[in-house]
Amino acid sequence: MFRKKEQSIDANLYNKIFKFPKIHKTTVAIDDNFVHIFRKGANAALTIGLSGEKSIPISSIMSVQIKKPGIATSGYIQFGVLGGLENQGILKAVRDENSVIFVKKELDQALELKQYVEQLITNKSVSAPKPDTAEQIKKFAELHDQGILTDEEFEAKKQQLLGI
């Protein structure tokens, strides 16, 4: 029987790569803006589907949850995203495209992945530019001119923005 040659992931394209080969043959590769989840193998195709790759913008990740493996169960990392529904429990996580399943031997790497992504989320939110107060007041003035905001609403918002 012939085996299909596996495509390798170019490590030069990513800042960090985590491999979880035991269950779904999953690789998580992270660049400046995305968490990329690559899955291979029949087990992944049966549970997740044949898509093979999922890219999640770091800016849309709101949480990183981890469930450590038990004696007879696998663990999982789940990336909570804007507008997404977090699944609870290993049976639902197996089918969740935003989850990575791992075994006990891969726990240290899973914890490192969780910490790494949480740090990225923190850094992105801290470095996000704050809107210019004058620009915000100008936008509210436009809404006021269009009759969308009352005089009182506009004045209250302007005072809030100016810290008065």
- Quick: pLDDT tens for 106-158: 999 999 999 999 999 888 766 555 667 788 888 888 888 988 878 888 888 88
Question: In whole angstroms, what is the distance from residue 43 CA to residue 68 CA?
Answer: 20
Tens of pLDDT, residues 6-55 = 456 777 889 999 999 887 789 999 998 999 998 886 554 454 555 568 88
Question: In whole angstroms, what is the distance from residue 96 CA to residue 133 CA?
Answer: 41
Q: How many of the other CB atoms lie within 10 Å of CB of 153?
A: 13
Q: Which residues make beta-bridge pairs with 65?
A: 78
3-state secondary structure (DSSP) of residue 90 = helix
**Hey, what domains does the chain have and what are their CATH numbers?**
11-127 (2.30.29), 133-162 (no CATH)
- Give the pTM: 0.65
pLDDT at 44: 47
Tens of pLDDT, residues 101-112 = 899 999 999 999
Answer positive or negative: Cα dihedral of 144, 150, 151, 154: negative
Q: Which residue type occupies 25?
A: K
pLDDT-derived band at 87 (thresholds 50, 70, 90) equals low
Arithmetic mean of pLDDT, 86-101:
68
pLDDT-derived band at 82 (thresholds 50, 70, 90) equals confident
